[in-house]
A = this chain, B = another copy of it.
Amino acid sequence: MPFIYQRTVRFSDTDAAGVVYFANVLTLCHEAYEASLAATGIDLRAFFSGVDVALPIAHANVDFFRPMFCGDRLVVHLIPKQLQESEFEIAYAVFLEGKLERSVSNAQTRHICIDPGTRKRRSLPLEINQWLEQWATPS
């Protein structure tokens, strides 16, 4: 079961070509990630301050199939997957509300768990394991 996030395209998301600026689609996916963490009960302020553990993004990619316009109601499907003891990736599919047969954009982010002091890899924290269990689709 993917995590589902709904979001209306806002004026500040758009650019002078009249559609969502390409990099903002990744921002929108990251919002879905944040919402999924909150849905698992994770405190976002502490989590993203990166004091105890940090989960920087090591890679992101995104494909754009159709333009998105101000006011468009989007639905993001998010599925995380653990890759290593210290690493997970998230797959995102962005749909127009009511048109779930074809995504307007797909994206992926890969996250590495590190100790913020040493910047060395460490195993994922307990709360991320719980989040993975909750939202990862069994293969």
Stoichiometry, copies per complex: 4
A131 at interface by CB-CB < 8 Å: no
Is the pair A49, B17 in contact by a Cβ cutoff of 8 Å? yes
Closest-CB distance, A71 to chain B (whole angstroms): 3
Whole-angstrom distance between the alpha carbons of A27 and B35 in the complex?
20
User: C-beta contact mask, A49-89 vs B, less than 8 Å → 1, else 0?
Assistant: 11000101111111110010111100000000000000000
Residues of B within 8 A of A35 (CB): 8
Is the pair B48, A15 in contact by a Cβ cutoff of 8 Å? yes
8 other A-B residue contacts (CB within 8 Å) besides A18-B49, A22-B56: A14-B48, A16-B45, A22-B109, A34-B70, A38-B71, A45-B70, A48-B71, A56-B67
